[in-house]
Structure 1
């Protein structure tokens, strides 16, 4: 049994697109950045903590006939040293979009899978280039509501696609889940032989 430790509709859609059968369950955690925590460590820590929280809630249902696997993921945007999660409000969304305008930034997604035998994790990074966005465009975008629940205050698969001339890396990572890496990680998690945790 596979459980996605996330309420994200984008991650749900991507796993479904990849042909996986699963159920989704949000892990309600404090997602604050720790002091001096680097972006890569931050998303990997949260991915693992989300997976662990859901695993702990369902570990009693693990069985040899239907082994329990819990997948956690977390995404953030990094531009000029600033880590951008989901905006707190419209003003915060504007701040983020103004930071991204005319620059290249990194999108990092940490993924973690937990089974009875092991925990494995991985990280994907995609570089995304934005054109310059006018104040009027930023205002229209914020008023649409689309940026308010997205890391970095934008959705590459939505209206913001008009500002993105180039990416380097996995497109699906920017949406919220690097599919190829996730499939490989799930396969690694379900190997019968315990392995050292991937860093």
Structure 2
């Protein structure tokens, strides 16, 4: 099964390979929104019907996923399904993006220590003139972390390119006490949701 993936994330590529789909990476040109306020403004400007039901953090990742899909360089591969995604971490409605530096990563992980948070992935799928956008949410609970544990984890370099400053598929799994919902979603792509979207659009 061949599919276009408008993402440079190696984690998303690995997840698709896991279910024996062959992702072809395509570049996308889109300026992402970072806050619900930015997303609401952009939503009102473009007035896209696929975004009408989304608000708050859900709107942020839904709009970004849709924008990445629309901005993808598909070239001659128009007949293949095109997938784009955007993953964010939220706590009490506040969005935690990728850390700017090690100090920012420390603040994020200290903030998440001993707390529940939500990982949301907006997913957009285009196929033969039809499109869908969904948001999948997983609840994650961190155990209580010591400052030394946080510092040692940051020293590995793993947190620096990940929303919320951790990767559950790597050493970050040691920070997690439990999850409720899709594990793949926390990694960066909810495979079951994508599979259902593919069926709905007749791509399978």
Q: Verify same fold: TM over 0.5.
A: yes
Deviation at 1:149, TM superposition (A): 0.5
For 2:101 and 2:83, how far apart are their aligned partners in 1?
Answer: 28
For 1:58 and 1:138, how far apart are their aligned partners in 2?
Answer: 41
Alignment check: 8 A CA contact 1:61 1:68 kept:
yes
For 1:93 and 1:87, how far apart are their aligned partners in 2?
Answer: 5
CA gap 1:162/1:49 in 2 versus in 1, 3 angstroms: same
The 10-residue stretch of structure 1 (181-190 or 72-81) with the greater mean CA deviation from structure 2 = 181-190
Secondary structure of residue in 2 paired with 1:129: strand
Alignment check: 8 A CA contact 2:36 2:60 kept:
no
The 10-residue stretch of structure 1 (27-36 or 169-178) with the greater mean CA deviation from structure 2 = 27-36
CA gap 1:178/1:35 in 2 versus in 1, 3 angstroms: closer
Deviation at 1:80, TM superposition (A): 2.4
For 2:197, the equivalent position in structure 1 comes to 185
For 1:4, the equivalent position in structure 2 comes to 5
Alignment check: 8 A CA contact 1:103 1:129 kept:
yes
Deviations 1:33-68 (A, max 9, x none): 2552411000000111111111xx325542xxxx13
Deviation at 1:4, TM superposition (A): 0.4
Deviation at 1:90, TM superposition (A): 1.2
CA gap 1:93/1:58 in 2 versus in 1, 3 angstroms: same
Secondary structure of residue in 1 paired with 2:74: helix
For 1:111 and 1:35, how far apart are their aligned partners in 2?
Answer: 17
Alignment check: 8 A CA contact 1:79 1:99 kept:
no
Aligned 1:1-199 pairs, distance under 5 A: 2-34=3-35, 36=37, 37=39, 38-54=56-72, 57-58=73-74, 60-62=76-78, 67-190=79-202
Secondary structure of residue in 2 paired with 1:165: strand
Alignment check: 8 A CA contact 1:2 1:23 kept:
yes
